């Protein structure tokens, strides 16, 4: 009892000293922590049993270890963090307990990561002095990592959030491993596990706070966006999910994949990318379809590089996923309702109607599902170049979805769409990858909903090769509308395919470099062709 009284008294003193900044902080030694270590080039090995790699996530403390587990007979992802002795763990628990009492939430939320880290470091050292804890600098550096992870980051998930290669993080409840989807090695289990309902519920509450939303027994479902743009879907009670609270994090890629990275990943051929380059220059409308996790938004981001640099772009999404390499871009995100009765809700339909007053040259809608499709296609019909994604495994399925509730689109409006890219997630030679299965041009959709299409490009799964034919109905339409020579347009398509191929050969793949070459080509195509030795 006496110890508890002393602790409370100390905490009260610390609250007054720290929050009022009366404590003179002397001889602070900053703890080195690197949140952006170099992204490693990971090997593509046909034999998964030979994979055994490590790379840093939060240097020098947390790293990923991916290896073949002989007992499970599958690839696993182990998060490796500093090991604490029992004594260090006890001291860390005391520091964290005091931290929860004295931490200034406003400072912890509103400042940058650097200043917040400094604040946590300062507060922790004051607590160590006040409680007269014996901690070496080496032990403290390990403890600070956990303080940083738990107070500033997302606790045990924080290192995974720093892994460039992770796309999704999935927790299915208590006493089950957290799973992830890796760009290179796809689905893997981790060594992270939530042991009890209270711990997991507390973590889900923290996710809700980070998104600015609310989750409770009365409102047990969460759909929101983290400050970094990552998308969160979570549940809170066993009434909804039997294993307890769950969460899925779809990570937001701050630096989007470039067309050349898509090419290097063998998702498309240079001819396919050059085809989209031509279409976007002449303000065609494109829809990307595929199943969940097939890479629709990644492809949408990549081909958006081909939008002319001077054009005004407006993007609309439910949750932020689109990231474009341009300045003249207005990103808009739908806002959910507050409480009951849809108070304050701004849905995609409302955003889309409003967007046409913003004079966009190109309109990008993250995903169409309902009534917003009608407004989008009306915009296409009125001459606005539009791009979007939609869940559909084929063009036939797409056209049926567009014509049936809740979309109920008139068949004549579908004629406003120029082409559809069908993306699929496949296993080629034992390796999982994404492919653009086909590019289909919409030639005509009659009143009965029957479609006449042309497929200028496709992927052969048996030969694992991309094929294309010269006849393109969209090229013919562009040539007629713009008064261009069709043969000259086809030659331009071939030249751009060669430019993309040369960029791949020269490993010009970064966000800035690719954007620079594409923008230069719009201004001085002859100069770029000469630079790459293309005739």
pLDDT digits (tens, 9 = 90+) for 213-258: 888 888 899 888 888 888 899 999 888 888 899 999 988 777 778 9
Residue 59 gets which letter from DSSP? B
pLDDT value at position 448? Answer: 81
3-state SS, residue 78: strand
Answer with the residue of higher pLDDT: 379 or 319: 379
pLDDT over 90, % of the chain? 51
Sheet of 419-428, strand order: 329-333, 313-317, 362-365, 385-391, 286-290, 419-428, 431-445, 451-460, 465-468
Question: In the prediction, which pLDDT does 108 show?
Answer: 52
Task: Please report the pLDDT score of residue 411 as a whole number.
Answer: 85
Enumerate residues 6+ apart whose C-beta is below 8 A from 412: 445, 447
Cβ atoms within 10 Å, residue 343:
8
Give residue 28's pLDDT band: very low, low, confident or very high (50, 70, 90). very low
Would you say 183 and 431 are in contact if contact means Cβ atoms under 8 Å apart?
no
Instruction: Sheet containing 221-225: give its strands across.
Output: 52-58, 62-69, 74-80, 186-193, 177-182, 166-171, 246-250, 231-235, 221-225
Distance, in Å, from the CA atom of 387 to the CA atom of 304, rounded to the nearest integer, reads 9
d(C-alpha 516, C-alpha 521), whole Å: 9
CA distances from 11 to 4, 6, 14 (A): 10, 9, 5
* pLDDT bracket for residue 169 (50, 70, 90): very high
Residue 400, CA distances (Å) to 285, 376, 451 in order? 19, 17, 10
With cut-offs at 50, 70 and 90, classify the pLDDT of residue 30: low
Q: What is the CA radius of gyration of the chain?
A: 27
Q: Which two tokens stand for residue 392?
A: 């559909």
Q: Which residues contact 90 (CB under 8 A, 6 or more apart)?
A: none
Where does the pLDDT of residue 369 fall: very low under 50, low under 70, confident under 90, or very high at 90 and above? confident
| Length of the chain measured in residues | 535
Q: Would you state the pLDDT for residue 174?
A: 94
Residue 406: which residues within 8 A CB-CB, separation 6 or more?
369, 370, 371
Q: Taken in order 28, 111, 229, 101, is the CA torsion positive or negative?
A: positive
The residue with greater pLDDT, 77 or 512, is 77
Q: pLDDT class for 17, splitting at 50, 70, 90?
A: low
**Distance between CA atoms of residues 394 and 429, nearest Å:** 23
Averaged pLDDT, 434-442: 95
Q: From 38, 69, 76, 78, select the one nearest 56 (Cα to Cα).
A: 38
Q: Which of 327, 325, 287 is nearest to 306 (CA)?
A: 325
- Answer yes or no: is pLDDT of 286 > 50: yes
> Where do the H-state alpha helices sit in 76-172?
86-102, 105-110, 113-130, 137-147, 158-161
pLDDT score recorded for residue 80: 96
Most confident of the ranges 196-200, 378-382, 432-436: 196-200
Peptide bond into 476 cis (omega under 30): no
Q: Which residues contact 218 (CB under 8 A, 6 or more apart)?
A: none
CA 67 – CA 185 distance, rounded (Å): 10
Per-residue pLDDT at 476 exceeds 50? yes
Give the pairing of strands 465-468 and 419-428: unpaired
pLDDT tier at 107 (50, 70, 90 boundaries)?
A: low
What's the pLDDT tens digit per position in 111-162? Answer: 577 777 888 888 888 888 888 888 998 899 999 999 989 888 899 999 999 9
Is the per-residue pLDDT at 7 higher than 70?
Answer: no
Alpha-carbon gap, residue 250 to 405, rounded angstroms? 28
Split at pLDDT 50, 70, 90, the class of 368 is: confident
Task: Tally Cβ neighbours within 10 Å of residue 369.
Answer: 13
Whether residue 339 is predicted with pLDDT greater than 60 in this model: the reply is no
Question: Does the pLDDT value for residue 26 go beyond 70?
Answer: no
Six token digits for residue 530: 């000469």
- Band (109; pLDDT cuts 50, 70, 90): low
CB atoms within 10 A of CB 424: 19
Pairwise CA distance, residues 263 & 488, whole Å:
25
């Amino acid at each position: 009892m006496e110890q508890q009284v002393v602790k409370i008294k100390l905490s009260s003193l610390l609250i007054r000293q720290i929050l009022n900044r009366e404590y003179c902080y002397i001889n602070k030694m900053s703890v080195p922590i690197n949140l952006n270590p170099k992204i490693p080039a990971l090997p593509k090995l046909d034999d998964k049993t030979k994979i055994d790699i490590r790379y840093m996530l939060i240097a020098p403390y947390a790293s990923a270890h991916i290896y073949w587990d002989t007992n499970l007979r599958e690839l696993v992802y182990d998060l490796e963090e500093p090991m604490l002795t029992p004594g260090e763990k006890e001291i860390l628990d005391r520091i964290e307990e005091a931290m929860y009492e004295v931490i200034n939430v406003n400072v912890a939320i509103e400042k940058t990561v650097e200043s917040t880290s400094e604040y946590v470091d300062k507060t922790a050292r004051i607590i160590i002095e006040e409680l007269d804890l014996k901690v070496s600098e080496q032990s403290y550096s390990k403890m600070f990592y956990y303080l940083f992870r738990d107070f500033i980051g997302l606790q045990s998930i924080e290192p995974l959030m720093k892994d460039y290669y992770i796309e999704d993080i999935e927790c299915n409840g208590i006493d089950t491993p957290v799973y992830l989807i890796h760009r290179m090695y796809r689905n893997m289990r981790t060594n992270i596990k939530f042991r009890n309902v209270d711990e997991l519920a507390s973590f889900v509450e923290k996710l809700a706070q980070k998104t600015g939303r609310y989750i409770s027994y009365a409102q047990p479902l969460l759909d929101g966006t983290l400050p970094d743009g990552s998308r969160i879907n979570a549940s809170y009670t066993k009434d909804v999910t039997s294993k307890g609270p769950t969460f899925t994090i779809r990570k937001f890629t701050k630096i989007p994949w470039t067309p050349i990275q898509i090419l290097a990943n063998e998702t498309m051929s240079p001819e396919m990318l050059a085809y989209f380059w031509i279409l976007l220059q002449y303000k065609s409308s494109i829809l990307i379809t595929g199943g969940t996790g097939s890479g629709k938004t990644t492809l949408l981001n990549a081909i958006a590089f081909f939008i002319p640099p001077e054009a005004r772009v407006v993007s609309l999404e439910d949750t932020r996923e689109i990231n474009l390499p341009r300045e003249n871009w207005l990103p808009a995100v739908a806002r959910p309702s507050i409480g009951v009765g849809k108070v304050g809700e701004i849905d995609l339909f409302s955003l889309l109607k409003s967007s046409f007053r913003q004079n966009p040259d190109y309109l990008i809608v993250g995903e169409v599902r309902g009534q917003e499709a009608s407004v989008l296609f009306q915009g296409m019909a009125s001459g606005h170049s539009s791009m979007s994604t939609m869940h559909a495994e084929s063009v036939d399925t797409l056209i049926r979805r567009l014509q049936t509730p809740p979309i109920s689109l008139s068949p004549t409006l579908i004629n406003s769409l120029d082409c559809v890219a069908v993306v699929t997630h496949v296993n080629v030679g034992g390796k999982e990858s994404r492919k653009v299965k086909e590019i289909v041009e919409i030639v005509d959709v009659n009143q009965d909903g029957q479609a006449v299409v042309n497929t200028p490009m496709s992927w052969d799964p048996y030969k694992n090769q991309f094929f294309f034919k010269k006849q393109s109905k969209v090229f013919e339409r562009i040539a007629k509308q713009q008064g261009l020579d069709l043969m000259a347009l086809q030659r331009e398509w071939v030249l751009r395919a060669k430019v993309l191929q040369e960029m791949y050969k020269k490993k010009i793949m970064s966000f800035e470099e690719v954007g620079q070459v594409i923008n230069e080509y719009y201004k001085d195509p002859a100069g770029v062709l000469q630079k790459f030795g293309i005739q």
